[in-house]
Structure 1
């Protein structure tokens, strides 16, 4: 079964049996929420729709975005990401991982962000156990 792996440099720290998820975070300077929806496929993570609550320094709203329910909605055409690499430090706060519209901090699976591990990778993977815990 294909699922979502969290870790770094191929080392798996957590496995989640989910076909899709939303990665959400709050911009460290502007304090604006961002959300990106992904599908988990054998080729990698496929970005679907993304949303942002507002613009600011280094946060321009993409061309073609539509304002709906207080957020700018847009789509980018990217090849599947394998892996998706993100920065994760104590100063920036934590990401949220949303599965079936239920959001939880990434620290629920990985512990709090640490300065000694300032990056995280997410990728599609063959789950090692059908009983992997999605929480």
Structure 2
């Protein structure tokens, strides 16, 4: 499976089994990091890390303080796709990283970005809610 990203009218392909998404919270200005893994044709959120609680940031009871941040495993089933919003209220876009490459997504307000897994990224995006 490949990791596919649709953004700004083009589709990018990454041959990787996992990736991370990093961004700065629009209100708290704290860094969030999520680690995702491809499971078949789905994307599973395997861990998340945040500097501290705040607006819209509720830490689960199993969160562990490690190296300056709270790490936990979100209770979220694997998803058919991830849709990223670019509000324009954050200092930067989303940082998407595989093991060997990083790129910024959603740096422009209103720029819709979708991430999904597929055999080939010329396939259509999965229907929302699938």
**Structure 1 residue aligned with 2:5:** 6
**Structure 1 residue aligned with 2:88:** 90
Q: How many residues align?
A: 120
Question: 2-side partners of 1:84 and 1:39: how far apart?
Answer: 12
Greater per-residue helix proportion: 1
- Structure 2: which 5+ residue stretches go unaligned? 123-130
**Structure 1 residue aligned with 2:47:** 49
Question: Normalising by the residue count of structure 1, what TM-score does the alignment of the two structures yield?
Answer: 0.77
Contact 1:98 1:104 in 2 (8 A): yes
Question: 1-side partners of 2:80 and 2:116: how far apart?
Answer: 5
RMSD: 2.3
Q: String of CA shifts for 1:79-131, please: whole Å, max 9, x gaps.
A: 21111112124333300012127543226xxxx4243x3x32111011259xx
Which secondary structure does the structure 1 equivalent of 2:29 belong to? coil
Contact 1:43 1:80 in 2 (8 A): no
Q: String of CA shifts for 1:49-82, please: whole Å, max 9, x gaps.
A: 1100111111122221000101100002322111
Question: Normalising by the residue count of structure 2, what TM-score does the alignment of the two structures yield?
Answer: 0.79
Contact 1:5 1:12 in 2 (8 A): no
- Structure 1: which 5+ residue stretches go unaligned? 130-135
Q: Give matches, 1:116-127, under 5 Å.
A: 117=111, 119-127=112-120
